[in-house]
C-alpha cells in the first residue's frame, strides 16, 4: 500500500483546477466536491484541496483583512488627530497639495478614500512631514518602510497575486507589530 501514488486514491474523472484559476472557482468546486485536484488536466496533481483547506485559507485571509483594516483605521486616526491639532482642514490641505502633484498622484477628497500610496504621499510630503508628522513618527524611512510593506502585502494577497492567498507567520507578526506601533500614536 505504501508504494501506491495519490492517483490510485482519486477519481480518474476528477476535475482539475489550474494553478491560474480563480480562488473563487476553487471555493465553488469545494462546495460541490469533497476534494479538488490542482494541476494541469492529464498530469499528476500538484495539490489536493479539501473543504477544510478552504476554511483554513479563509481564516488566515480574514485575520489578515482585520489586521490591515485595524492598521488603516489607526493611520486615519493619526492623520485626523495631527490635522486637528494644527488647525488644518483635510480638504484645504489636499487642494493645496494637489496643485503641486501630478494629476495621476492627486489625493482624494476624503481621508476614507485614500489608497495606501496616498497615505505615503501625504505623510511623507516634505511640507507635511516637517509640520505634522516628523514630531510623532521621527523616522520617515521607517514610516515609508512600514506603509509600503502593508501596501505591497495587501495588494499581493488580496488581489490574488500570490499562489497561497495567505500570509505566513512572519508577515502576520510584522502586521501585528505595525499595528501596535501605530496604536501608540492615536
Q: Where are the domains of the chain?
A: 6-45, 54-183
Poorest-confidence range of 17-26, 65-74, 103-112? 17-26
Q: 57 with 49: CB under 8 angstroms?
A: no
CA distances from 34 to 5, 26, 161, 166 (A): 19, 12, 26, 21
The span from the CA of 123 to the CA of 79, in Å, is 8
Percent of the chain with pLDDT over 90: 40
The answer on pLDDT for 163 being more than 60 is no
- Grid coordinates belonging to 26: 476553487
DSSP-derived secondary structure for the chain: -TT--GGGGS-TTPPEE-TTS-HHHHHHHHHH-SEEEES-TTS--SEEEEHHHHHHHHHHHHHHHHHHHHHHHHHHHHHHHHHHHTT--HHHHHHHHHHHS-GGGPPPSSGGG--HHHHHHHHH-HHHIIIIIHHHH--HHHHHHHHHHHHHHHHHHHTT-SSS-S--HHHHHHHHHHHHHHHTT-
5-27: average pLDDT: 76
| Residue-level pLDDT at 108 | 93
Contacts of 163 (CB under 8 A, 6+ apart): 19
- Tens digit of each residue's pLDDT (9 = 90 or more) over 89-143: 999 998 988 888 888 888 998 999 999 999 999 999 888 999 999 999 999 999 9
| Residue-level pLDDT at 132 | 93
pTM listed for this prediction = 0.71
Backbone angles phi, psi at 37, to 5 degrees: -95, 135
Amino acid at each position: 500500500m505504501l508504494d501506491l501514488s495519490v492517483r490510485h486514491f482519486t477519481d480518474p474523472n476528477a476535475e482539475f483546477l489550474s494553478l491560474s484559476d480563480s480562488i473563487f472557482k476553487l471555493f465553488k468546486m469545494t462546495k460541490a466536491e469533497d476534494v479538488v485536484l490542482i494541476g494541469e488536466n492529464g498530469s499528476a496533481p500538484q495539490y489536493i484541496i479539501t473543504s477544510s483547506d478552504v476554511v483554513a485559507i479563509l481564516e488566515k485571509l480574514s485575520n489578515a483583512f482585520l489586521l490591515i483594516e485595524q492598521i488603516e483605521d489607526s493611520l486615519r486616526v493619526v492623520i485626523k488627530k495631527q490635522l486637528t491639532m494644527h488647525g488644518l482642514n483635510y480638504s484645504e490641505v489636499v487642494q493645496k497639495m494637489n496643485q503641486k502633484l501630478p494629476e495621476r498622484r492627486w489625493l482624494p477628497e476624503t481621508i476614507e478614500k485614500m489608497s495606501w500610496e496616498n497615505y505615503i504621499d501625504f505623510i511623507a510630503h516634505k511640507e507635511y512631514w516637517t509640520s505634522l508628522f516628523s514630531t510623532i513618527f521621527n523616522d520617515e524611512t521607517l514610516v515609508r518602510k512600514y506603509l509600503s510593506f502593508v501596501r505591497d502585502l495587501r495588494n499581493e494577497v488580496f488581489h490574488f497575486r500570490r499562489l497561497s492567498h495567505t500570509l505566513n507567520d512572519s508577515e502576520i507578526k510584522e502586521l501585528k507589530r505595525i499595528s501596535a506601533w501605530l496604536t501608540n500614536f492615536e
